[in-house]
Amino acid sequence: MGLRAAILSGRLAPGRALPSSRALAGQLGLGRNMVVEAYEQLAADGLTEARPGAGTFVAASLPPPPHEAPAQPPQPDLWDRRQEAFALGQTEATPDLLARLGAATRRAIAQAGPDLLSYGDPRGSPALRREIAAFLAAHRGLACDPDCIVVVSGTQHGLRLCLDALLPDGAPVWMEDPGYTTSRDTLIAAGMSPVPVPVDAAGIDVAAGRALSPQAVAAYVTPSHQFPLGRTLEMTRRVQLIDWARSTGAWILEDDYDSEFRYAGPPLSALAGLAPDHVIYIGTFAKMVFPGLRIGYLVLPPRALRPVLAARAALDRFSAPFLQEALAELMREGHLARHLRRVGRSYRTARDLLAAELRESSGGALVPEVPDQGLHMVVRAGPGLSPRALAKLRRSDGPVLRLLSDCRFGPPGEEALILGFSGHDLTAIRRGARSLGKAARRLLDGPTGV
């Protein structure tokens, strides 16, 4: 490596003689065979040339040396990955689940036939698609053909496939405001033009969307558990959204965000069950299992299947099959359902603890909105505390805090905190809630409630 670097940097000029392999081995205290192999590799790469009877020389024709050191690669601007209390999207991967998943993956590899060792079906594992279809029919009121399910590596992967395959460049797409910033970034990266449409107590305001962008060709929504407000799209709005899609030929991209964990009442039906001809359902196992599993799925109308698969073939052809087979086994044998019940109870406990500690420690300065489902909580300013004061609670060295304004794309509006409570140690939640509550009380006790 030292000789290679010296030649490429120009420190060893073209045509310069190199020591014999025996001499260089003696100088460096190495075995001669090692030096001979290094010389042979340099010659194979065209950096040196042997002259019979004369020795080894630096090649006469080399690329010019660089004039300056290569720049350091830019560091990506990524979101905060800290795991302490209130970070969003954390899950509880139990030892039992991990052990079963590991065993099932080993079985899938050991018993793999040609179908798992080749490129396979670009839609993904048939076994997993059958289990997903059964799950959706039982829990989301969505009857679908497993042949119309496409396994992807996550929500954003599935969303990007649909955008690339089905929408023209620069197309306007309705986006809930406030909404999911990661999906907005995906829309922009795909060349779309997101149109922020306000969300109220009933969900996305379809009439406002029609007025803001009547030419929109798609709408991205989180109807079962809107992020970040946690509201459910009411039936009147669902009908309005479907009527708009059918009258204009637009697509509805339904991200079923956090729908798996419901703490009161029966499971909510998916929007796709009402209009399977115009709704593309996007689901993921990131919250049910853990984000690192990297398995999500699309439920596509039949007319969208061919173009989406063509886009898939151009990007990554198919998903890795072994984890899919393992996950299908866990679903088929009921292990995933038991895991969801177990962690659901754990998340409910964390939710209730967070709400109680915030109320007590803040003395009314913070008002938590306890959600009936999902993995995060909206917390608003109480009487006497200015909503603007909530921004002062964010500390770079404190718990992870996200503000409602962080998720807003259009004009300023109401402010609140967005606190994740899933997958965190209860001690960390209690400590973080008390610290946050005390800080809010200090602001409340200030001269004007800040």
| Domain 95-337 sits in CATH 3.40.640.10 | yes
Instruction: Assign domain 342-445 to its CATH architecture.
Output: Alpha-Beta Complex (3.90)
Stated pTM of the model:
0.85
State pLDDT tens for residues 189-219: 999 999 999 999 999 999 999 999 999 999 9
81 pLDDT above the threshold of 60: no
The domain spans of the chain are 3-58, 95-337, 342-445
70 pLDDT above the threshold of 70: no
Q: Report how far residue 75's alpha carbon sits from residue 72's, in angstroms, rounded to the nearest whole number.
A: 9
Average pLDDT over residues 269-277: 93
Q: Nearest-CA neighbor of 438 among 351, 349, 366? A: 366
CB 47 within 8 A of CB 7: yes
pLDDT band for 76, please (50, 70, 90 cuts).
low
Average pLDDT over residues 238-258: 95
State pLDDT tens for residues 176-189: 999 999 999 999 99
State pLDDT tens for residues 275-333: 999 999 999 999 999 999 999 999 999 999 999 999 998 888 888 899 999 999 999 99
344 pLDDT above the threshold of 60: yes
Q: Report how far residue 127's alpha carbon sits from residue 391's, in angstroms, rounded to the nearest whole number.
A: 48
Please tell me the predicted confidence (pLDDT) of residue 68: 57
pLDDT band for 398, please (50, 70, 90 cuts).
low
pLDDT band for 73, please (50, 70, 90 cuts).
low
Same fold for the domain at 95-337 and the one at 342-445?
no
- Answer CATH for 3-58 from 2.60.40.650, 3.40.630.10, 1.10.10.10, 3.90.180.10: 1.10.10.10
Q: Which of 28-42, 89-103, 110-124, 343-357 has the lowest mean pLDDT?
A: 28-42
396 pLDDT above the threshold of 60: no
pLDDT band for 133, please (50, 70, 90 cuts).
very high
Please tell me the predicted confidence (pLDDT) of residue 342: 94
Please tell me the predicted confidence (pLDDT) of residue 413: 85
State pLDDT tens for residues 420-443: 999 999 999 999 999 999 999 888
What value, to the nearest 5°, has the Cα angle with vertex 111 and ends 105 and 116?
80
Average pLDDT over residues 366-375: 94
Q: Which residues contact 444 (CB under 8 A, 6 or more apart)?
A: 362, 363, 364, 365, 382, 384, 385
Average pLDDT, the chain: 89
pLDDT > 90: what percent of the chain? 64
Which has more pLDDT, 6 or 227? 227
Please tell me the predicted confidence (pLDDT) of residue 450: 55
12 pLDDT above the threshold of 60: yes
**Does the bond joining 228 to the residue before it have cis omega, within 30 degrees of 0?**
yes
Helical segments of 301-391, H only: 302-315, 321-332, 335-362
Burial of 272 (0-12, 13-18, 19+ CB in 10 A): buried
